[in-house]
Amino acid sequence: MTIDWQKEVEARKEDLLEDLKNLLRVNSERDDSKVTEDAPFGPGPRDALKHMLAYGERDGFVVKNVDNYAGHIDMGEGDETLGIFGHMDVVPAGDGWDTDPYEPVIKDGKIFARGSSDDKGPSMAAYYAMKIIKDLDLKLSKKVRFVVGSDEESGWGDMAYYFEHEEEPDFGFSPDAEFPIINGEKGNVSLGLHFQGNNAGDYVLKSFTSGLRENMVPGTAEAKLEVPNTDVAIAMEEAFFKFTEANPVSGMIEADGTFVSIELVGKGAHGASPQSGINAGTFLATFLDTYAFGGAAKQFIHVAAAYVHEDFYGEKLGVAYEDEKMGKLTMNAGLFAFKADEESTQAENFINMNFRFPKGVTVEGLEIGVEKTVGMEGATVTRGARVMEPHYVPMDDPLVATLLQVYEDHTGEKGYEQIIGGGTYGRLLKRGVAYGAMFPGYTDTMHQANEFMSLDDLFRATAIYADAIYRLAK
């Protein structure tokens, strides 16, 4: 039986787009201030999860909501289960958008909105792939389960809860990365550098904040400080403008007597590729490091400037490592916080560093290496709660081989393996990978302002997913 998958997608593309637009309108940023028993990650992720599951109910699938943590949409029966993993939560929209991030806009063949490429657009492509198979009444020998998550961008608490209550699929993929395939992912852990909240000397750092999430390169940073006198404040203004002219940043500085406020703008990016962004936090620290702050404030600024600034591969921190297959360790400094308060705890004054590490690196080794480097500068090192070890599925695994063959058949391009620093739900399964929905040469706008997905790529990915699911489950 020959099926023209692209033709089937073409017949449904208007419905697909309408469903995607409505899903994108749901602001599904995690909000811990609004957590309830009914909304474990805040109302946004819950509402987006329920919205997606409602599509499955509308279209006649078997649907289950697991206490608003996650859910699934099922079709087919069999002794084995093919799992497809998508997520409805998104990173904060942040600044710099040309349009409302939660009112999708189609322009120049692209759909712009937060979540369009990460991960609502790809998830909708995978869902419509299942819908095509169901509409055509194609016979399957395996169950196909689309698992819908709501906390992928934060702590993966959704999947921890889900797998406490539901069986794990036997194999599967996540439509949350790139074609031809992602069959390897680096390990992932965050280390915190903590400081006291005191100052010493003539310059006083009142506060310093930068970053929205540990897996985003901070696009903005703010600092409030007090300087010795008005002449120093005026001179600092002049020095700041010279700094912005000499570096790839912009910003504003305002002096009110001896009180100075600074806002610096860099460029946000996905934390798995920190070298593609411009970290506003470390650039602002680099500017402030030329002034005579003292105490813990000086330690905070100096560590950020001397050891963290543009240390994408952990060289300044003394933990650089490269594996022949998985590549280099990377580091993203995603969160900065300092508040001048003698009573504040080290938990309130910190730099959060997210590491993506290849095989050959241990978390204990990272801690020891960082502590050795910055411990003498007054920083205390702590480990984040979530640790993910490196993940790899061999090329000769039937799952990988089948998915690559489908890609080659639809594109005419040779498939090849890829290993990334990003972490996807593909790693949840021993035989799990990430598969699309972005094609080679795409413009990466994930975790950035003006996020978009090409409509041609959206529809082409849907056809590939339909064919792949059918081959894996028929």
Active site residues: 89, 152
Confirm if 148 and 52 have CB atoms less than 8 A apart: yes
Q: Are strands 452-454 and 259-265 parallel, antiparallel or unpaired?
A: unpaired
Q: Work out whether the CA dihedral 13, 101, 450, 419 comes out positive or negative.
A: negative
Confirm if 92 and 213 have CB atoms less than 8 A apart: yes
CB atoms within 10 A of CB 279: 32
Confirm if 203 and 293 have CB atoms less than 8 A apart: yes
HSE toward the beta carbon, residue 189, CA cutoff 13 A:
22
The full DSSP string for 2-18 is ---HHHHHHHHHHHHHH
CB atoms within 10 A of CB 439: 18
Torsion of CA 154, 158, 160, 165, to 10 degrees: 180
- Residues 367, 285: Cα–Cα separation, whole Å: 23
Q: Are strands 391-392 and 110-112 parallel, antiparallel or unpaired?
A: unpaired
| Greatest CA separation for the chain | 82
In the block, tokens 């599509």 appear at 55
3-state secondary structure of 321: coil
Confirm if 418 and 158 have CB atoms less than 8 A apart: no
- Residues 439, 178: Cα–Cα separation, whole Å: 6
Confirm if 159 and 425 have CB atoms less than 8 A apart: yes
3-state secondary structure of 318: coil
For 163, phi then psi, to 5°, come to: -75, -10
294 in the Ramachandran plot: left (φ > 0), alpha (ψ -120 to 50) or beta? beta
Confirm if 230 and 258 have CB atoms less than 8 A apart: yes
Q: How far from the centroid of its chain's Cα atoms is residue 320's Cα?
A: 22
Cβ-proximal residues to 307 (8 Å cutoff; 6+ apart), any chain: 316, 317, 373, 374, 377
